[in-house]
Structure 1
Amino acid sequence: MEYRILGTSDVKVSAITFGAWAIGGWMWGGAERKDALEAILASYDNGVTSFDTAPAYGQGLSEEIIGEALQQIPRDKVQILTKYGLRWDVKKGEFFFNSTDNAGNPIDMYRYAGKESVIEECENCLRRLGTDYIDLFQIHWSDKTTPIEETMEAIALLQQQGKIKAGGVCNYTADEMKAAEKVVSLAANQVPYSMVLRDIEKELVPYTRQHNKAIIAYSPLQRGLLTGKIKPGHVFNDGDTRAGNRFYTDENISRINAFLSGIKPLAESKGATLAQLVIAWTIQQPGITVALVGARNAEQAIQNAKAAEVVLKPEEIMFINDRLAQLELVKPS
């Protein structure tokens, strides 16, 4: 496993980090708690030291599971990355969307990052995680009703108090990062990035590379699509947000699977799965610091961690990139 510093902070994380949304259940179906705990511990045993979660993932459940698992590991050997700014328990800020909790009860999600709310959320996160500090505290989504400077004042205060080591953002533009930087030095921006979704390479990656900020890439497998296991005609479960998404039309699934068939021999030559090859490609892209990958059980966790052992030569990355350049996805009309 390779370990990388987040920006100019003191936080060093594993290049492959455990993404804990799925184990929280919310919008993902969840996992058996025993399996989730085993997945976290298996990740650590295979070199993954960093765990990314959020209060919204199961309305606290994901953080509680992470906290329970990490009681079995020395705290200074792991890095806890969590978030703030998505509230379901108060109706403040910017309405985001309607949802349901794990019990099927309706909830309203709000983006809210007022100073007092950020401080309150930090205390709640620390309690659920069973720790006295958070390595990286990230705003989950921007809140247009609160000045960025006010939000970041809370982060600066929490850093001074030793409750967080570093502050980060998620889903921020370069301009939003610039505004935040007037108050605090950001460590990282967590954004979607995959072989088939590379929008951030235009503006965000050049900005973060120039200013020495980390990029934490989420959904590097494009929510399962880049494993090759999803076939045309796939029926998604009720509530699965992939249904109707432009990437998951039969035509685009077919085109992506054809691309994957073309790079599969490279994966096989390295004794790797397609998913491992995709993860390895992701963490070897310029400006990409971390790939977030989820697992519902120990076997999945081990397979994810082993992607770090897949070393790609420059000409192999070029081979993949050339194939990607030929991949044309159908855009919605």
Structure 2
Amino acid sequence: MEYRKLGQSPLELSAITYGAFAIGGNMWGGNERKDSIAAIHASIDHGVTSLDTAPFYGFGLSEELIGDALVGKNRNKMQILTKFGLVWDGSNEGKGEYFFDATENGKAIPVYKYAAKQNVIKEVEESLKRLKTDYIDLLQLHWPDASTPIDETMEAMQVLIRQGKIRAGGVSNYSLEQVKAAAGTFNLASNQVPYSMLNRSIEQDLLPYTTAHNIGIIAYSPLERGLLSGKYFADATLKSDDHRNDYFGQFNPEKVKALLAALQPLAESKKASLAQLVLRWTSLQQGISVVLAGARTAAQAESNAKAMDITLTADELLFIRQELAKH
């Protein structure tokens, strides 16, 4: 495993960081608690020290599972990354920016983006309890909230740093202009954004800026929720309440299959799976600090961590880029 400094922050994260969205269960067709804990433990056993979660994942369940999984572990050797700013319990009293309706037990639950100072402070206290810890390594705004000035949100994170409740602050899903605004008032550690072989839009403007200004990039959905593993073109099936039934619709399946077919021989030459090759490629792209990889079983977690054992030459990286351009 490689360990990388996150921007100008004091944090050093594992290049493969455990993504805990799926173990929350909601939007992913449920979860198995035993398997989720085993996946976290397997990640740690194979060198993953950084775990990324959010209160919204499973309406608190994902954070609780991480808190339980870390009992008895050396907390000082782990980095907990969580978020704030999505409110689903009505505590925002109608304030903030309506986002979408989530579903739980067949019931629609309105979700709001809400990043006002008092809400940031409140959410962190709740997260600390669920995570069974007294500090968060990286606190991130989950989604931009147009109803709250950016400097107010950044001020809240500065207060939490002074209080010792967080070590660094970042954002997620921020545009270039939003990053510039946040960095103008706060020592911004990172921006967590989607980045994959199929979605490289940040290479146009955001990535050059964050690279030049030493702001970390945490890449999420590098496997496009599993699509780039190739298994959904084989015999894998999705439950009816799995959001990927709709998510996968944005991609051209024939083009994706053609790309994976072109990459398969290279993966085999490395004695690696397609998913491992994709993760390793993502980790090697300029300006990418760490790569999030979700796992719902111990086997998946081990496979993700071992992606960092793959060596890719300059010629092989060029070959991949050429195939991406074709497909």
TM-score normalised per structure 1: 0.94
Contact 1:230–1:253 (CA under 8 A) maintained in structure 2: no
Tell me, yes or no, if structure 1 residue 169 matches structure 2 residue 171. Answer: yes
Tell me, yes or no, if structure 1 residue 293 matches structure 2 residue 318. Answer: no
Contact 2:227–2:248 (CA under 8 A) maintained in structure 1: no
The within-5 A match list for 1:25-40 is 25-40=25-40
> What 5-or-longer segments of structure 1 have no aligned partner?
328-333
CA distance in 2, matches of 1:153, 1:130: 25
Cα RMSD for the two superposed structures? 1.5
Name the % identity: 56
Match of 1:79 in 2: 79
TM-score normalised per structure 2: 0.96
CA distance in 1, matches of 2:247, 2:57: 21
- State the AA in 2 paired with 1:56: F
Cα deviations across residues 236-277 of structure 1 (Å, max 9, x unaligned)? 43333333446556xx11221111111111111111000000
Find the residue that maps to 2:180 and give its secondary structure. helix
The within-5 A match list for 1:189-268 is 189-231=191-233, 236-245=238-247, 247=249, 252-268=252-268
Find the residue that maps to 2:287 and give its secondary structure. coil
> What 5-or-longer segments of structure 2 have no aligned partner?
none
Match of 2:102 in 1: 99
Contact 2:43–2:298 (CA under 8 A) maintained in structure 1: yes
Structure 2 residue aligned with 1:123, among 122, 125, 150? 125
Find the residue that maps to 2:231 and give its secondary structure. coil
Contact 2:99–2:111 (CA under 8 A) maintained in structure 1: yes
Find the residue that maps to 2:306 and give its secondary structure. helix
- State the AA in 2 paired with 1:132: D
Structure 1 residue aligned with 2:116, among 111, 114, 119? 114
- State the AA in 2 paired with 1:98: D
- State the AA in 2 paired with 1:241: H
- State the AA in 2 paired with 1:167: G
Contact 1:242–1:248 (CA under 8 A) maintained in structure 2: no
Find the residue that maps to 1:89 and give its secondary structure. coil
Change beyond 3 A, Cα 1:181–1:323: same
Larger deviation, residues 141-150 vs 23-32: 23-32
Q: How many residues align?
A: 324
Contact 2:144–2:173 (CA under 8 A) maintained in structure 1: yes
Tell me, yes or no, if structure 1 residue 185 matches structure 2 residue 194. Answer: no
Contact 1:232–1:254 (CA under 8 A) maintained in structure 2: no
